[in-house]
Chain A
Amino acid sequence: MQLSGWGNYPAVQADVLAPASAAELQSLLAHNAYGNWICRGGGRSYGDSALNGRVVSSRYLDHFLDIDEDAATVRCGSGVSLGQVLEVVIPRGLFPPVLPGTKHVSIGGAIAADIHGKNHHVEGSFCDHLESFSLLLADGSILRCSAAENAGLFHATCGGMGLTGIILDATLHLNKVSSVSINNRSFSAKNLQHCLELLDEHNAATYVVAWLDCLKQGEDLGRGIVYVGDHGDDDNLQLVKRRGLSVPFHTPGFFLNRFTMSQFNNLYASWNKGRGDTTLQNYEQFFFPLDSIGNWNRLYGRKGFLQYQVLVPTEAKDILSRIIRRVAESGQGSFLSVLKKFGKANNNPLSFPSAGYTLTLDFRWRESLFPLLDELDALVLGCGGRHYLAKDARLSESGFKTGYPRWQEFMQVKAEVDPHNRFASLQSQRLGLTPVSTSHSSHKKAGPDK
């Protein structure tokens, strides 16, 4: 079937297998001695991280195995989504320490990409709260991994993009909370400098993130809104059930053009003008605003879009304004632009977050985008930055290896547990993490045109 990541680019023909249980998955692995595959969870990585000629879906590995309210831990299958975790833990006064921008990611995917949230500066990334997981290896054996047990494999798998094996289930640590409402304060930022000041000023808050308008040039360059959130004190442990709208089909690609985007940005900026306005929001509104529009990725049209998320180290923050200026000049327009200040890095060789700023830009797919992104790559890599692999669809092998200097450490573990590269994705082949497989690469198309 035709398969793509959340960005709808690239799209490939793939055989998707959905084993009904871990045992079935194990026998599948034993019987398919040849060829390689990649595990796929919620399908929310943007590019080709979860694409290959053969894909194994974790959708039926979606059982909860245990919950311990006193210890504040939950153990569940890797196919369980964070949304399902929320449904189970919120009524018990528990809350995941790290939440991304969508609740539809699977636990397996969250580990594989070592995802982060708006509170990275406080809580670190997803795998910093992972007690252990069990991993199905290429030879069919299952290993329990934690920071204490099989530690090398544990750290390589956290952020390892599914290349060490298939995560079957995991035990997560949760935070005890009295309320899941979020006190959201918003502050207007005149320009990028002001925005960075506001991010520093509010670094003590739990959740801090900034929305940027990347179409404005000159003095207004990088105008935006900084959102600062903390858990409320209203003892609200109610689940939010909402049925949002859904985009039923791909809108024509020109739907999101420079004009509509700048109109949207103006509207959005004036709507949120209030300085220090506080609103009590439910957790869905605060963490997952885009989930309220089902299949919003279709707004970018059939050709899809690319999300470009990079890290710029703290000392090189001037590079941020150069990136944003270059984007504004190019007229390619980024509909959704988000800036966040990270805390310290953890010990996983391929984890993305590290001390600095992370900038996220969305671009509609078009031929002329790629030279622009190559230019931005040079800026990012030149200052010691790196790219977020869960968003990536086009980074070069050298770009990856420059950004992730510990890649060889990862390769050593990979060689030990998966010497024949049974686990590989189109991304891992592009980035030189696995050899290029000739049998499946023919499926890949240059563009997503049908």
Chain B
Amino acid sequence: MNVLIIGAGSAIAVATARLYAARGCSLFLVARNTQRLEELAKDLEVRGAAKVGQHTLDVLEHDKHAEAVSTAREFLSSVDIALICHGSLPDQAITETDFAAARRELDVNGLSVISLITLLSALMKEQGAGTLAVVTSVAGDRGRQPNFVYGAAKSMVSTYLQGLRGRLLPHGVHVIDIRPGLVDSPMTARFEKGVLWSTPELVAGNIVKAIDRKRHTVYTPGYWRIIMAIVRSIPDVVFKRLKF
């Protein structure tokens, strides 16, 4: 099995890559930090990966996406699974007043993802097979006061995937939207952690299972499906007064 992971430096990506490494898969990692990539590549080899390739990419440089994807293809020869994990959690207050900051976050969490999906869909269509899994967020289910810029970007990707899933169906390509809840990672280090928080390792296990079983929209951990169904059902007249 050949796995491409974009945003390989994220805690969820690292934990997922380790599970595939333990299965003896070949992996190709794309991330921004070259030193971290090298560390991770060695780690995955020790953990059992057949071979590990790496490529440095800042996702904001859209014109370099094609090169990253073609390098991955060259290394893996066929991309059975592509997992897009990159993202950033912005400071909501700044993005509300500074549009340049908001646009940057929408790009990192939304547009750059769609750019990569476009390239990967073409690749997988040509292969006539593959699974495209994208990590979005429960934040995309409804715009909430503390993080609606982040949520808007994530819901853009989720909506895109809903349509793409049907488009790629005749080509044997499967599309999965993975929506993690609160995950204890360096990205969320500044938050107080309560009972709803889960670990990157647990989320990674769910991602691998979802890919194995060709699920469509995955909430991880699963109880987030119920929580978000409730959140979505709150009438606007009440919801607009909620600060969570």
Q: Taking beta carbons and an 8 Å cutoff, which residues of A are in contact with B?
A: 1, 17-21, 23, 60, 63-67, 74, 76, 87-88, 91
> Contact between A63 and B40 (Cβ–Cβ < 8 Å)?
yes
Overall SS of chain B's interface? helix
Alpha-carbon separation in the docked complex, A353 to B20 (Å): 40
Q: How many residues of B contact A (CB 8 A)?
A: 15
CA distance A232 to B182 in the complex (A): 44
Given A1-B192, A60-B186, A67 and B46 contact (CB-CB distance below 8 Å): yes
Q: Does B141 contact A (CB under 8 A)?
A: no
> Could you tell me which B residues sit within 8 Å of A by CB distance?
11, 22, 35-36, 39-40, 42-43, 46-48, 186, 189, 192-193
Contact of A88 among B35, B42, B47, B193 (CB under 8 A): B47
A87 touches B186 (CB 8 A): no
Closest partner residue, chain B, to A239 (CB atom): B22
Whether B36 lies near A66 (C-beta < 8 A) is no
Measured in the bound complex, the distance between the Cα atoms of B11 and A67 in whole Å is: 23
A325 to B183 CA separation, bound complex (whole angstroms):
49
Provide the residues of chain B in CB contact with A17, threshold 8 Å.
Answer: 189
Contact partner, B47, options A18, A21, A87, Cβ 8 Å: A87
Asked if B48 contacts A18 (CB within 8 A), the reply is: no
Task: Tell me the minimal C-beta distance from B38 to chain A in angstroms.
Answer: 10
What residues on A are CB-neighbors of B36 within 8 Å? 21
Known contacts A1-B192, A20-B186; is-contact A63 B48 (Cβ 8 Å) = no
Question: What CA separation (Å) do A1 and B194 show in the bound complex?
Answer: 9
How far, in whole Å, are A429 and B22 apart by their CA atoms in the complex? Answer: 42
Distance (whole angstroms) from the CB of A147 to the closest CB of chain B: 25
**Alpha-carbon gap, A23 to B9, bound state (A):** 15
Q: How far is the CA of A87 from the CA of B48 in the complex (A)?
A: 10
Residues of A within 8 A of B192 (CB): 1
Which residues of B have CB within 8 Å of A64? Answer: 42-43, 46-47
Instruction: Report A-chain residues with C-beta under 8 Å of the C-beta of B48.
Output: 88, 91
B43 touches A63 (CB 8 A): yes
Q: Which of B11, B35, B46, B48 has the most CB of A within 10 A?
A: B46
Known: A1-B192, A1-B193. A66 touches B46 (CB 8 A): yes
Instruction: State the Cβ distance, B87 to closest chain A Cβ, in Å.
Output: 15
Top-4 shortest CB links A-B: A64-B46, A20-B186, A63-B43, A64-B43
- Select from chain B the residue with minimum beta-carbon distance to A19: B186
Q: How far is the CA of A298 from the CA of B150 in the complex (A)?
A: 37
Contact status B46-A18, CB under 8 Å: no
- Residues in B with CB closer than 8 Å to A87 are 22, 47
Nearest Cβ on chain A to B22's Cβ, whole angstroms:
7
Q: What separation, in Å, do the CA atoms of A1 and B184 have in the docked complex?
A: 13
Give the complex CA separation of A19 and B11 in angstroms.
Answer: 12
Given contacts A63-B40, A74-B46, 10 further A-B contacts (CB under 8 A): A1-B192, A17-B189, A21-B36, A63-B39, A64-B46, A66-B46, A67-B46, A76-B46, A88-B46, A88-B48
Within 8 Å CB of A19, what residues of B? 186
Interface core residue of A1, A17, A20 (most chain B CB under 10 Å): A20
Q: A66-B46, A67-B46, A88-B46 are in contact. Are A18 and B189 (CB under 8 A)?
A: yes
What is the CA–CA distance of A124 and B47 in the complex, to the nearest angstrom?
A: 28
Query: Can you spell out 29 A-B residue pairs with CB atoms less than 8 angstroms apart?
Result: A1-B192, A1-B193, A17-B189, A18-B186, A18-B189, A19-B186, A20-B11, A20-B186, A21-B39, A23-B35, A60-B11, A60-B186, A63-B39, A63-B42, A63-B43, A64-B42, A64-B46, A64-B47, A65-B39, A65-B42, A65-B43, A65-B46, A66-B42, A74-B46, A76-B46, A87-B22, A87-B47, A88-B46, A88-B47
Name the A residues within 8 Å of B40 (CB-CB): 63
Closest approach, in angstroms, between the C-beta of A59 and any C-beta of chain B?
Answer: 9
- What is the CB-to-nearest-CB distance from B217 to chain A, in angstroms, rounded to a whole number? 25
B-chain residues with CB within 8 Å of residue A74 when the two chains form the complex: 46
**In this complex, what residue of B is CB-closest to A91?**
B48
Closest to B41 in A: A63
Which residue in chain A gives the minimum CB-CB distance to B194? A1
Cα–Cα distance between A65 and B40 once the two chains are bound (Å): 9
B204 to chain A, nearest CB (A): 13
Interchain CA distance A63-B47 in the complex, whole Å:
10
In Å, the complex CA distance between A156 and B35 comes to 31
- In the assembled complex, how far is the CB of residue B242 from the closest CB belonging to chain A, in whole angstroms? 25
User: Chain A contacts of B46 at CB under 8 A?
Assistant: 64-67, 74, 76, 88
CB distance from B14 to the nearest CB of A (A): 9
Inter-chain contacts of A88 with B (CB < 8 A): 46-48
Cα of A76 to Cα of B47 in the assembled complex, Å: 11
Within the complex, the shortest CB–CB distance from B187 to chain A, in Å, comes to 9
